[in-house]
Structure 1
Amino acid sequence: MNRKTLVLPAVAGLLAPVLAACGGENSGSKSDDAIVVGTTDRFTATKNAPAPLDPAYAYDVGTWNILRQTVQTLMIQPKGEGDPVPEAAESCGFTDSGNERYACKLRDGLKFANGDAVTAQDVKYSIERALHIKADSGVFALLSTIDTIETQGDREVIFHLKTADATFPYKLSTPVAGIVNPKDYAKDKLRDGFSVDGSGPYTFRADTKNDEITTAIFTKNPDYKGSLKVSNDQVQMRSFADADAMGAAIDKGDIDVMTRTMSPAQINKLDAGSDENVDLVGMPGLEIRYLAFNTDAPTVKTTAVRQAMAQLIDRGELVSKVYGSQAEPLYSLVPANVTGHSNSFFNTYGDPSVTKAKSLLTRAGINTPVKLTLHYTTDHYGAATKQEFQILQKQLNASGLFDVSIQGSPWSTFRPAEQKGKYDVYGMGWFPDFPDADNFLAPFLDKNNFLGSPYDNTQIRNTLIPDSRREADRLTAAKNLTKIQDIVADEVPILPLWQGKQYVGARTDITGTSYALNSTSTLQLWELGRGVSG
């Protein structure tokens, strides 16, 4: 039996009609040397999301895991974690003492997969394009500190920032800053469909059925120049309806690797050593889950209602009954292993208390029980999500202060409805864009936030976030970061629930699995190979 559990150190998260460039339904059959990776992520063509694979639009862990293999960025998070390092760039760095001027020099001889040279002008075009389009996914907000972009010759690009931003190198490692060819991506329009073209370690094509990707095919790019060593010639990523179907496929040998989202039962089974042909690799993760509120909605507009929910929810019971050792209670938006974390919700509310929750509602003049619906997605964060929301419903209703119903919807309808403000309370997950406390706060609280939330705290937006970004030493930024977390705990525009660990299941002849995921749940398919596992 060759099962292993390996823990790595951690630091300090929809398409138009299928294009002809995509492969046919059967062209993705497993070749002799292709490594086949299973996922429960779904990539579907819908009217509401016509271009999820466009770097100027994509903003979820599944689509980013396609783009990270194919579209090159100036910077990249290194193997084994740490500060970002040059990727398409030969060198990058701040050139002033105020962290407001950032210059990069491209590697010599970079090419797009079609043979066109990659130039500094392409970098400028790509990033300005994302800022100009301002897709409703909100991903462009990651680049919001950019004022102007300057090029010098074909290899030098200089970013002039509106304000100091010590996190900017991390932002240049995210797919929204990916370098695209102007020939393939129009300046003022998203690229509909499933085609992706770039200069990354792999080229890409997709097998599709009923306007949905069934298999994503990544083939080693012979013209790739960058910091990565590619350990395979081809990886195929197959999308499954659920974790059980994915597990059956690895048992039969139809796939080699299971990624997100494995079920708690599957993880427990493999961890017990019940399958000598499949290894379980565990590693720290920075995934969080939370309840979000439309703070303009009548049911939860009064702060006391949200505070009462924060006072009632028992995170310990929730985690133990649904996820066991695979998750931990979370008392802030910032995970416990990220610099700047504070247990603000526990400091504010302590242990769950019906008496304290009732007092909050009584003082605010709220009639009880408060009737509301908790919405969740049925197919994006794993099968255990339904059970999680059943427990939340039970906890709130048991208090006698709430009359809660729950409603699940597929991600393809859930996400657009949430963005349009149709849900008063809804459950979401966050896989960080980069491992810094700023990325667990600004995407939810700043202008043009990821949730499209109407919540607006001017102290957070105008003072605390900008001041925290001025500090290159993130320990020095902790005072401002803690203040933000304390305000969130007091006003509860978002209610954090838990943070999770992450796992990969792989057949025993697959190597490189310990680096197949980094702490931000980024798939690093280039690390996978065939051989003899340890």
Structure 2
Amino acid sequence: MKRTTLVLTAVVGMFAPVMAGCGAADSGSDGGSAIVVGTTDQFGATKTAPAPFDPAYTYDTAAWNILRQTIQTLTHVPRGGGEPVPEAASRCLFTDHASTTYRCTLRTGLKFANGDPVTANDVKYSIQRVVTIHDPNSAYGLLTNIGSIDTEGHDVVFHLKSSDATFPYKLATPAAGIVNPKQYAPRKLRDGFEIDGSGPYTFKAKVKNNTLVGATFTKNPTYKGDLKVQNDKVEMRNYTSASAMGAAFDKNDVDVMLRMSPDQIKSLTDHTPKDVNLTEMPGLEIRYLGFDTAAPVVKEKAVRQAMAYVVDRDALVSKVYGTTATPLYSLIPSGITGHTNSFFNQYGGQPSVQKAADALQKAGIHTPVKLTLDYTTDHYGAATAKEFQVLQSQFNDSKLFDVTIKGIPWDTFRPDQTKGDYTIYGMGWFPDFPDPDNFTAPFLDKDNFLNSPYDNPLIRNQLIPDSRRVANRGAASGTFGEIQDQVASDVPILPLWQGKQYVAAHTDVTGVEWAVDASTNYYLWELAKGTSDD
């Protein structure tokens, strides 16, 4: 078999695999050597970012992908997507019609990898710890709607402050991961790279100069849950460049490649080696510019609107990402319930320097407007630098802006961004769960991910709460349409593009179609080594 291309079809925010090109492969394991996975994800432990793998600190897809293998959650999103199902729990459900009381019953015999039993009190402790530590870099905002937690034997009962039909999804995120109180202090982060949990794998880090260069995931013999582990061991190797990872893959030192560069994907697409399968799927990754709307230079929304008129998404995608991305005209991407092209409707599909100039002139703003665009040099891939060079050219060529760009390492960039040190900054978003709420509330609600000063009372006090009362997410589409229109009008965030997902694997590796989803979540337990036939 030379190649397998997999397409994931979106239906009401859920994704299901469809095979094209080759028949489905048999799964299996050689029961011997580890499956080696290469990635360009980078992890460092520094004074400003001391605890990259503590659920009370990290809110980053790459780090969450490490935690998903090791830290168990009450629920999880099943293969192919859909509503969450029990994982560490044997049963979970809302016990009222208002979606304000949620009860989970733990599986019997749950143990942490060190042999300690997992109790309902451990679940309560773990979730309260995230909220108590309240680190600005963390995902505590996902959990602040919890009013109180009761424990009754093996049961954990969550009493929510307001209705939230998305709460089962939030319990499936590593922010709600179950940790051992003996290893995770109640008010202090666990610095460094150690991880201990009750998930499908144990974790051992390989560290050099306070940077993770590799890790070993070993099947946890005490694991009890809903996941079926297809291998005994996975080794992850972290490469500083896609080219170094590609060289290792070509030498068969790596079995699976994740987080490839656009050039690498194009090369594999055009010339796929006979012993390689390239997996392609629609993705929910988005990129955008964020604004500190309290900063004097962009406080007037006419400046932000003018930038929305000038940006050329088609040219940006074509020059930097090619066929691996598509232009994005809303916070909610294509493939998610409620998606609308609000920015296209308001600013058009093609840039208009004249309309941008009119908006600035009407607001009495003198041009060129001096701006700095900050971006991270080492978190979203090498193409980010080129992306910001293209954006700089687009804005400066309009003669309405005088833009400087500045690249900063992620371990400095992210803490400084949450402190409000940047006026305009480039960020990416990989959703916590495939629901329109997760493309709106994390940016617009109180305790938002960006620590943004933007506060739209209609969105926060009416539209977001209204959307969460609706159990049928499709019925909330109108509300999400209003949210997107408000964002397009005020431009606290400027959406740029939506990415696709690609994984390359040698043909003796099976389960790849299940090992990565459209949200870029990794499920290493799905991988196995075996043989497959057309």
Structure 2 equivalent of residue 56 of structure 1? 56
Matched, 1:120 2:120: yes
Residue type at the aligned position of 1:432:
P
Aligned counterparts, 1:1-80, within 5 A: 2-11=2-11, 12=13, 33-80=33-80
The superposition leaves residues 459-488 of structure 1 with CA deviations (integer Å, 9 ceiling, x where unpaired) of 111111111100011122112211111111
User: Is the CA contact (8 Å cut-off) linking 1:10 and 1:519 kept in structure 2?
Assistant: no
Q: How many angstroms apart in 2 are the aligned matches of 1:430 and 1:216? A: 24
SS at match of 1:10: strand
Distance 1:279 1:408 in 2: 34
Partner of 1:376: 375
In the TM superposition, what is the alpha-carbon distance from 1:32 to its structure 2 partner? 5.6
Match for residue 241 of structure 1? 240
Corresponding residue of 2:18: none
Asked if 1:419 corresponds to 2:429, the answer is no
- Paired position in structure 1 for 2:296: 298
What is the 5 A alignment of 1:122-161? 122-153=122-153, 155-161=154-160
The answer to whether the 8 Å contact 1:51/1:191 transfers is yes
Asked if 1:527 corresponds to 2:526, the answer is yes
Structure 1 stretches of at least 4 aligned residues deviating more than 3 Å after TM superposition: none
Deviation at 1:117, TM superposition (A): 1.0
1:315 match? 313
Match for 1:252: what amino acid? K
Task: State the distance in 1 between where 2:532 and 2:392 align.
Answer: 44
Aligned to 2:346: 348
Letter in 1 for 2:140: F
Mapped contact 2:308–2:494 kept (Cα < 8 A): yes
1: CA distance, partners of 2:369 / 2:5: 45
Amino acid at match of 1:188: R
Asked if the contact 2:55/2:138 (under 8 Å) is kept, the reply is no
TM-score, normalisation: structure 2: 0.95
One-letter amino acid of the structure 1 residue matched with residue 263 of structure 2? A
Separation in structure 2 between the aligned mates of residue 122 and residue 308 of structure 1, nearest angstrom? 51
2:44 alignment partner AA: T
Cα distance, 1:7 vs. partner?
1.1
Task: Identify which of 259, 264, 269 aligns with 1:266.
Answer: 264
Maintained 8 Å contact 2:76/2:87:
yes
Q: Which residue of 2 aligns with 1:22?
A: none
Deviation, structure 1 residue 277: 2.6
**SS of the counterpart of 1:444?**
helix
**Which residue in the other structure is 1:103 paired with?**
103
Q: Secondary structure at the match of 1:500?
A: strand
Show CA shifts across 1:246-284 (max 9, x none): 111101111111101x11111111112342232211112
1-structure distance, mates of 2:313, 2:71 = 39
Partner of 2:20: none
- Residue 228 (structure 1) aligns with: 227
Partner of 2:200: 201
Kindly state the Cα deviation for residue 306 of structure 1 after the two structures are TM-superposed: 0.3
Equivalent residues in 2 for 1:176-215, closer than 5 Å: 176-215=175-214
Using the TM superposition, give the Cα deviation of residue 50 of structure 1 relative to its aligned residue in structure 2, in angstroms.
Answer: 1.2
1: CA distance between counterparts of 2:508 and 2:315? 38
Give, in angstroms, the shift of residue 49 of structure 1.
1.2
Partner of 2:501: 502
Query: Secondary structure, in 3 states, of the residue corresponding to 2:298?
Result: coil
- Tell me the distance in 2 between the aligned counterparts of 1:245 and 1:378: 17
Distance in 1, matches of 2:402 and 2:165, equals 45
Identity %: 64
Give, in whole Å, the separation in 2 of the partners of 1:510 and 1:454: 47
The residue identity in structure 2 corresponding to 1:348 is: Q
- The 3-state SS of whatever aligns with 1:490 is helix
CA distance in 2, matches of 1:57, 1:373: 28
State the Cα deviation string for residues 421-471 of structure 1 (Å, max 9, x = none): 111111100000000000001111111111111111111111111111000
Distance change >3 Å, CA 111–CA 319, structure 1 → 2: same
**Counterpart Cα distance in 2 of 1:2 and 1:10:** 26
* Residue 387 in structure 1 maps to residue 382 in structure 2: no
2:443 equivalent to 1:444: yes
What amino acid does structure 2 have at the position aligned with 1:358? A
Q: Which residue of 2 aligns with 1:20?
A: none
> Secondary structure at 2:366's aligned position in 1?
coil
> What is the rounded CA distance, in whole Å, between the counterparts of 2:113 and 2:138 in structure 1?
28
The 8 Å contact of residues 138 and 448 in structure 1, kept in 2 or not, is answered as: no
Deviations 1:357-407 (A, max 9, x none): 000000000100111111111111111111111111111111111111211
Corresponding position: 1:282 with 2:293: no
Partner Cα separation in structure 2 for residue 45 and residue 422 of structure 1: 21
For 1:407 and 1:497, locate their aligned partners in 2 and report how far apart those are by CA, in whole Å: 18
Partner of 1:480: 479
1:354 maps to a residue whose letter is V
Q: Distance in 1 between matches of 2:272 and 2:199?
A: 38
In the aligned structure 2, how far is the partner of 1:380 from the partner of 1:191? 22
Contact (CA 8 Å) 1:124, 1:157: kept in 2 or not?
Answer: yes
Contact 1:38 1:259 in 2 (8 A): yes
Looking at structure 1, the residues matched to 273 and 239 of structure 2 have their Cα atoms a distance apart, in angstroms, of 21
Counterparts of 1:400-419 in structure 2, within 5 Å, are: 400-419=399-418
| Cα distance between partner residues in 2 of 1:502 and 1:519 | 7
Q: What amino acid does structure 2 have at the position aligned with 1:512? A: G
- Higher mean C-alpha deviation, range 272-281 or range 366-375: 272-281
Q: Larger deviation: 490-499 or 474-483?
A: 474-483
Give the Cα separation in 2 of the matches to 1:443 and 1:56. Answer: 16
SS of the equivalent of 1:496 reads strand
Q: Retained in 2: the 8 A contact 1:3–1:273?
A: no
Tell me the SS of whatever aligns to 2:263.
helix
Looking at structure 2, the residues matched to 395 and 204 of structure 1 have their Cα atoms a distance apart, in angstroms, of 45
Q: Report if aligned partners of 1:5, 1:271 keep a CA contact under 8 Å in 2.
A: no
